[in-house]
Structure 1
Amino acid sequence: MALDAQGTNVTDRAGLNGQAARCDHIDQLPTVEPGLPECKECLGLGRTWAQLLVCLTCGWVACSDDSRGGHSRAHYEETDHPVVATLASKSTWRWCYVHRRTV
């Protein structure tokens, strides 16, 4: 049995065929309504954005790391809200800042 630093059996958390372990952060997310489809910080600075992300903890909308401001990451660093999703329609893409990977 393999244990992590907290003594948890990592085999229980492992994905199939060597996939990364499931992100526990997505299991703890409330249902939120996204804010307006705009990055308020970029608008205030007169900037445009490449992509908008919504915080799945509070619904805050901000620009992605691909944008000049990177305000979504700044929101994570300020609040510790771990998971964001794209506002692009019909996309299921989500990113966990803690694990630094898609979930």
Structure 2
Amino acid sequence: MSVCTHAAELPRPEPEPLSRTCPECLVAGTHPVHLRLCLTCGHVGCCDSSPLRHASGHFAETCHPVMRSFEPGEDWRWCFVDGAVV
């Protein structure tokens, strides 16, 4: 079982979302299945169940390690680096 070492390094307070939906999906003309919020910069991207997986793509481009669900009523977080729920 992995333990995230990155959550303690996140900015406080949490960054404001840069959008209300995945901007890359809007440009591509696709629909996100679920949204994720980058806890380093506020980028909103679609989940890995979405056709283009923009949240994972954002991590691959930026190495921002932790995101959280951006769905109403959900507050779980995921560390891409450690592959762990935070």
* TM-score scaled by length of structure 2: 0.89
Deviations 1:48-90 (A, max 9, x none): 0100000000000010111001000010011000000011123
Match of 1:68 among 48, 51, 60: 51
| Distance in 2 between residues matched to 1:46 and 1:82, nearest whole Å | 27
Q: Alignment identity in percent?
A: 40
| Correspondence 1:82 to 2:65 | yes
Residues 72 and 21 of structure 1: CA distance in aligned 2, closer, same or farther (over 3 Å): closer
Q: How far has the Cα of 1:21 moved from its partner?
A: 5.6
Q: Is the 8 A contact 1:63 1:71 kept in 2?
A: yes
Gaps of 5+ in 1: 1-19
**Would you tell me which structure has more helix in proportion to its own residues?**
1
* Two-structure CA RMSD over aligned residues (Å): 1.2
Deviations 1:17-46 (A, max 9, x none): xxx464221100003111221111111111
- What is the aligned partner in structure 1 of residue 39 from structure 2? 56
More relative contact order in 1 or in 2 (CA 8 Å, sep 6+)? 2
Q: Is the 8 A contact 2:3 2:82 kept in 1?
A: no
Please tell me whether Structure 1 or Structure 2 has the larger radius of gyration of its CA atoms: 1
Matched positions, count: 84
| Distance in 2 between residues matched to 1:73 and 1:52, nearest whole Å | 11
* TM-score scaled by length of structure 1: 0.76
Gaps of 5+ in 2: none
